[in-house]
Structure 1
Amino acid sequence: ADQGLSPFNIGDNFQSTSLSKGQVHELYREFAKDRGISIDENVIEDIFVKTNGHAGLVNICGVAVDDSFRTLPDNQQVDMNHWATVENTLLTRMRDYGTFQRLIRDLMGESERQVAALAYYRSRFLGNPGEMDVLDLNDRNLSGYLAALGVLNPGSGSGNSFGIASPLMDSFVRQLVIPVAYPDSPNILPPKRSNDSLDMLEVIKSALLFFDKDLIAQASSLAYKEAHVFVDNLKEKHVPRESVYDSELTRILMNWLSSRNGYQVVGQYHIGSVYCDVVIRGGNKAPVPIELLVTETAKSVQGHIDKTIDYKNLISGASEGWVIHLTREDDYLQHPLWPTNSDLDAGISMIHIWHNKDFTDVRLSAKWKDLDGQTMTVENERVI
């Protein structure tokens, strides 16, 4: 494909034809037949879900799959593992198209409307798969502008609702636009251990200092979930959803470790049919998977520990994995759930981070094994 041209079949904006699930499946079956390959139905389903059937994005995914066979000519099967490898390259591939370069310029423009629109998307929609009612007139105008760019879709209801155009478009904004638009991050060399690998506890502590306090504080009313634990002595209290912290951590690590220090930070790193929230790679050092969870129950915390063990085992070369639990639960650091000794032996480390609503009081406890195999702990240390 000529990436100087738009991949979209009907012009250079994002108001492109929307394909049904059946049409996407039929398109890829014909594509597979033409190439003499087989494509797992789960792969096609995932493409439909990630693109929301947007014809241009469906096309880009097809080009990416097609190109992957040029480097793997003996492979005739597109399964979820193969697709995950392709998927981890999609965002940078999208950025190479002129259409997406124009989108970046529009989203990062300096006009009052452009600045307000990106801040509005970041605080309301980023990482949110559902539709939102937009009642304020100014917010509706910003939503309409973002819909014209193809970042949002008008909802199916009264005309006052909007949602992200697709998970793939949302990931593009989250990973390739937000970090550049909001560059605030540590200006120090990354902290390292004696073997020159990253000191992940100190990395996270440094990153926390650069979380956008206003964004976190507003998230309890703008980008929230209901907590199933006690927060401010109440259950079902609104707390920031995971995507708020995920996008902030990814933004900060990309600006600090990737842009200035030569590491590769990948958000939503795909491994077969699952994905890890963040993976850090650097030089010849082992990759480090990071799993985030937010204000969760003990059962959910244990589930994320188990998942991180799987991710560490699935990511080639990984020797450690970090579970980071950010929580607003009352007095949580007095009774945190820790990985078992066998989990620690398997390279799993844990950080629990409690904070108040305004993110002006932030404390953490941590447990991990050092390079000598000694169990290390930090208890209720104030970071902010």
Structure 2
Amino acid sequence: MRMGWLDRVKTKYRNDRAARVTPLILGIETSCDETSAAVVKGGRQILSNVVSSQVEIHQQFGGVVPEVASRRHVENITCVIEQALREADVQLADLSAIAVTYGPGLVGALLVGVTAAKSIAYAKSIPLLGVHHIAGHIYANFLTEGITPPLVALVVSGGHTELVYMKEHGTFEFLGRTRDDAAGEAYDKVARSMGLPYPGGPAIDRLAHEGTPGTIVLPRAWLEEGSMDFSFSGLKSAVLNLLHNAEQRGQTLNPADIAEAFQAAVIDVLVEKTVLAVRKTNVKHVVVAGGVAANRGLRKRMEERAAEEGFVAVFPPLPLCTDNAAMIAAAAYPFYKKGWFHDLDLNAYASLPLIKWEEGPFQELGRDV
């Protein structure tokens, strides 16, 4: 049965490539608390990008509850895929491939998307591509900008804070990563301690612009000289201690000043570590990806340093900063062209290394035509 599917998929792929069909890729993303499906044409043209968010559900808990997230994905996945196809005005039979996030993330949530993708791929004999979530965030920038590797990517979100050197499509090298909290996670925890709503990133960003720089100064964790790793647990603890000590003394602090000081400390480290990565790799482009890429303060400071250092800083449009399926479809496109696909034994993984694609468990169905 499996070999029959592979034979049909190989035939479809080779026929589509020989006919110079512009690929239509259905992307599916369910790694955390967004159920998303998108259709992307030719790796860049978004025909649809449907996102069903669970933010309001998880707000009452102050963060994402994995079991609740998984159940909502099960409830939403079919209608989200159907809506994406409807908005793109395509049928399943029109698709060239299906791309799905298979890690890292909440494994129960990931399994919903992976199962849906495998079911469609088998039923319709469509090539299947598993996409690394971080690679998806990086490729969100390729949907709107005409950039090519080599480049440095700063991926910064609630679950990730990494500096990645992308030498070419499918070749990634970690230059630095967080040793404790992700930047977005620190935002959420500090926001909760200040009584701000979830998610904390947008709330602190808005409030920070009302604060006075220099009123409060918080520590920056630079770590060892030349290190491109990150650490935000000390900064988070400094804010908690500041709030606790003020309460003990009966002192009233301006929340806007706290937000400004916290955000300035995070941004300084993110930007200066990125500058170190640029100097090491000598690239001309930096892409910023992930939910925190929407932060106004980060965008402003990164663009200032880019002008000073002579590189170009690229940010995705705001709707593509958070988890979405268009970025997953975009990430799959270069590998569709190479003929690298997954088999039906594709699984979901809570943790997953970002490795060279050719080192992964792929079926090679063809070469560039």
Tell whether the structures are fold-level matches, with TM greater than 0.5: no
The TM-score normalised by the length of structure 1 is 0.22
The TM-score normalised by the length of structure 2 is 0.23
- Using CA pairs below 8 Å that are at least 6 residues apart, which structure has the higher relative contact order? 2
